[in-house]
């Protein structure tokens, strides 16, 4: 995951509230695209081998056409669509929420308010440490949410911890300011009350 750039601005503008700021954004780890890429290489190899086998046959053009159509269908189903879904999946950390958006024609979304997160944990295996990714575990209101193949998962964890702390600090500051404002309001009301007392009453009160 990385800081937001202009390529994602339009997608992010649709999910952000007024005054909300993005601090981290990215896609799932690129290793999810390895299998679709391997499928594309395998399909190309098989189609090329088949085309070479039938090249001397009189019906070779028709065979090439069939091979091309089949290879294209397999590539679309097992390479293009998975990579497009991977690119369309967004993991976003803002100063208020952790957001997940995924899907092509139908978009699914998950919003986790920062102030509802009780704990943030990560889990990485040997492969995850090698590729720099892992599983993000969020405990939210007694429920555990699990996000796999998160790129830079430890960085995401650190950023979430930071935003949770900043949000708590802002709330404490707002509470102190509200308390100070209320006390000042009470003091001003008391002064106005004394000023509204008629002068003779004030004199008698002073005597």
What are the residues facing 26 on neighbouring strands?
91
Q: What is the pLDDT of residues 166-182, one digit of tens each?
A: 888 887 877 777 776 76
What integer pLDDT is reported at residue 106 of this predicted model?
82
Burial class (CB in 10 A: 0-12, 13-18, 19+), 1: buried
* Contact by Cβ (8 Å): 85, 11: no
- CA proximity to 124, closest of 92, 101, 155: 155
Q: Is the pTM of this model over 0.75?
A: no
Q: What is the pLDDT of residues 140-159, one digit of tens each?
A: 988 999 999 999 999 999 99
What are the residues facing 134 on neighbouring strands?
150
Contact residues for 117 (Cβ-Cβ < 8 A; gap 6+): 98, 138, 139, 140, 160, 164
- CA proximity to 50, closest of 39, 37, 38, 65: 65
pLDDT at 199 over 60: no
Domain coordinates of the chain in residue numbers?
Answer: 20-111
* Contact by Cβ (8 Å): 186, 178: no
**Mean pLDDT throughout 38-42?**
95
pLDDT at 196 over 80: no
């Amino acid at each position: 995951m990385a800081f937001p750039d202009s390529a994602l601005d339009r997608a992010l503008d649709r999910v952000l509230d007024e005054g909300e700021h993005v601090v981290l954004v990215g896609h799932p780890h690129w290793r999810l695209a390895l299998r679709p890429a391997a499928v594309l290489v395998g399909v190309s190899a098989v189609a090329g081998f088949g085309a070479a086998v039938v090249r001397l046959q009189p019906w070779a053009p028709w065979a090439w056409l069939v091979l091309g159509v089949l290879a294209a269908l397999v590539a679309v189903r097992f390479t293009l669509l998975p990579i497009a879904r991977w690119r369309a999946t967004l993991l976003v950390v803002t100063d208020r929420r952790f957001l997940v958006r995924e899907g092509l024609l139908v978009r699914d979304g998950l919003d986790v308010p920062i102030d509802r997160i009780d704990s943030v944990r990560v889990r990485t295996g040997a492969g995850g440490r090698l590729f720099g990714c892992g599983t993000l575990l969020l405990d939210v209101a007694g429920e555990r949410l699990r996000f796999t193949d998160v790129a830079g998962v430890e960085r995401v964890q650190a950023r979430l911890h930071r935003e949770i702390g900043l949000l708590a600090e802002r709330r404490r500051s707002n509470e102190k300011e509200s308390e100070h404002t209320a006390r000042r309001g009470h003091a001003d009301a008391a002064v106005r009350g004394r000023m509204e007392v008629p002068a003779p009453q004030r004199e008698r009160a002073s005597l």
